[in-house]
Chains A and B, each alone.
Chain A
Amino acid sequence: MSYRIAVIGDLSTSTGMALAGVSYTHVHKSREETLEKLRKFLEDESIGLVLLTYRIAEELEPEFGQLMRGKGMLPVVLKIPDKTGYMPSIDELSEVIRRTVGTEVTIKGEMR
């Protein structure tokens, strides 16, 4: 199946991605407006990938997390750094590794 891409970002991110051929771009201004846009992107079956900046994702919490937990496999949502390169100091994936594999290791230790 062929899918389109959407971006939610600052002006630079959206402009750059538009230049690269991304079909839908949204420049973040207000929280409510962006949330609504995100919901629309998530519901749109023609969209396979949504890129949004870490900073905006943070600003959209807690709704953002709820939306992520509630969605299916598609669209894939990927958080990216914005123009300033901002990324949170705690990497979400490392958190997941600690939670899943970290506890797994201690359980094994208890068992044998």
Chain B
Amino acid sequence: MATNLTAPPTRMELIKLKRRIDLAQRGHDLLREKMDALVMEFFDVLRRIQDSKRVAIEQLHKAHQALSECFAEIGTIETLESARETIRDARLEISSRHVMGISVPMIEDVEMKRDALARGYGLHTTSSALDESAREFELALKLLIRYAELEASAFAIAKELEKTRRRVNALEYILIPRLERTIKFISMRLDEMERENFTRLKRIKAILEERR
């Protein structure tokens, strides 16, 4: 890096360094604000994620139970056959929002629930166990979608947070202290040179006076 203790000890260099440290300090402060804001956003998503996750996973469990009853009741082959016949056109509306340079997915809350006819199966079998399974999985899917949005947001924010923190730390613990050390070194050298000059001038004066 250019900033080391071999910088030329001049007034000009000192001014340049002070300008650089100002920039670094400004960058540090703003990045730290960003980091703070990211922490805030991150915790806010985390607060919402807990419930959403629990509810979705409980429902998924319930759906699996319903399905295993269905397997038992109408048989595995029949159930798989019905699944194959099902109309599988579930759609999501996804857009994105931007939080401090991060794209965070936004999934619209959609109703996955359909009535038995809209599902398209069971023209030859009517089974309440099958309907029940489909209904429970539709609900599970809806809840999982909501949870997916939050989790994806949390990971995206965390990634940016880590990156920002590394930058803040680099400025705070490496760059800024290094610039400060260089400034101190140059100031001391300049003072020293001034003192040397002063003594030199005094000696010249003494010599001149002797000659007189």
The interface of chain A, by Cβ under 8 A from chain B, is: 1-5, 11-13, 15-25, 48-49, 51, 73-74, 76, 78, 80-81, 83, 85, 87, 93, 96-97, 99-101, 103-104, 107, 111
Contacts and interface: CB of A to CB of B under 8 A. Distances in A.
Contact of B88 (A3, A18, A111): A18
Contact of B140 (A11, A20, A49): A20
A104 B172 CA distance: 14
Contact of B145 (A4, A13, A49, A103): A49
Interface stretch (B91-99, B179-187, B191-199): B91-99
B138 A21 contact: yes
Contact of A73 (B57, B105, B138): B105
B46 interface: yes
Nearest to A107: B169
Interface of B: 35, 39, 42-43, 46, 49, 57, 60-61, 63-64, 67-68, 71, 79-80, 82-84, 86-96, 103-105, 107, 112, 114, 119, 121, 130, 133-134, 136-138, 140-141, 144-145, 147-149, 151-152, 154-156, 158, 161-162, 165, 169, 172
Contacts of B64: 12-13, 16, 83, 85
B92 A48 contact: yes
Nearest to B157: A100
Contacts of A97: 46, 158
A4 B67 contact: no
Contacts of B133: 16, 19
Chain A contact residues: over half helix, strand or loop, or mixed?
mixed
Q: Is the interface of B mostly helix, strand, loop or mixed?
A: helix
Q: Which 9 A-B pairs have the closest CB atoms?
A: A21-B90, A20-B137, A19-B134, A78-B148, A18-B83, A16-B137, A20-B138, A76-B152, A20-B141
Nearest to B165: A104
A1 B107 CA distance: 10
Given A81-B61, A100-B165, A74 B94 contact: yes
Contact of B92 (A2, A78, A107): A2
Contacts of B86: 18-19, 21
A50 to B, nearest CB: 9
A4 B155 contact: no
A18 B158 CA distance: 33
Contacts of A1: 93-95
8 contacts: A16-B64, A16-B133, A17-B141, A19-B119, A20-B134, A76-B94, A76-B148, A93-B49
Contacts of B148: 49, 51, 76, 78
A12 to B, nearest CB: 6
Contacts of B162: 99-100
A94 B155 CA distance: 11
A3 B94 contact: yes
